[in-house]
Amino acid sequence: MDTIPGVGRRTAEQIIAEIGTNMDQFPSAAHLCSWAGLCPGQNESAGKQKSARTRKGNEKLRSALVEAARAASRVKDTFLASQYHRIAARRGSNRAAVAVAHSILTIVYHILKRKQPYIELGPNFYEEKRRDMVIRQSLKKLESLGLKVSVETMVSKPYRHLLLRILSFIFIPYFYIMYGLSFLLPFCGTLFSG
């Protein structure tokens, strides 16, 4: 569990002490997060959204997870750090910390339930997942600024890497053959002349 960014050994011990290792008591990760008090509140009356404070849950677990979330926000090139900075830009640092703490607890639930290690998704996972929406939003923003934009797809990095590899298999042996032959030509001339 300490492979999760921001979660050290001490934090992992606190989480295990509060929730245990048996996840059968919680039907889903959402139930665990609700029990811990990390779910956003739902308070609506007559179609009007009111305060969406999180409910009171296990305060020790909640404080440990929020602390881990703030630590995860400082780890470079991770999914949780990019999630924190993306939410903090819109909603503020405290709400972002609670959202990342919710994600950490969801990850912990799945690690303990499936007995599988944590797999880092990378900082661009969210953008790659919602690539089309990001393109539409970017075009809309540029058009609102008065710019006319046309979109063309480029060869993505994995394909570009594959293309360079294929070309290297073709040209590198050709280069060695030509270089080797040009290197041997002076010797061949002396062998056949004398």
Each residue of 72-107: pLDDT tens digit?
889 888 888 888 998 899 888 888 999 999 999 999
- Mean pLDDT, residues 128-152: 81
Q: Which of 11-25, 119-133, 166-180 has the highest mean pLDDT?
A: 11-25
> Residue 34: CB partners within 8 Å, gap ≥ 6?
55, 57
The label of the residue with tokens 């609670």 reads 98
Strand-pair partners of 49 = 44
Mean pLDDT of the chain: 77
Q: What angle do CA 131, 133, 48 make, to 5 degrees?
A: 140
Q: Quick one: which H or E segment has residue 44?
A: strand 44-45
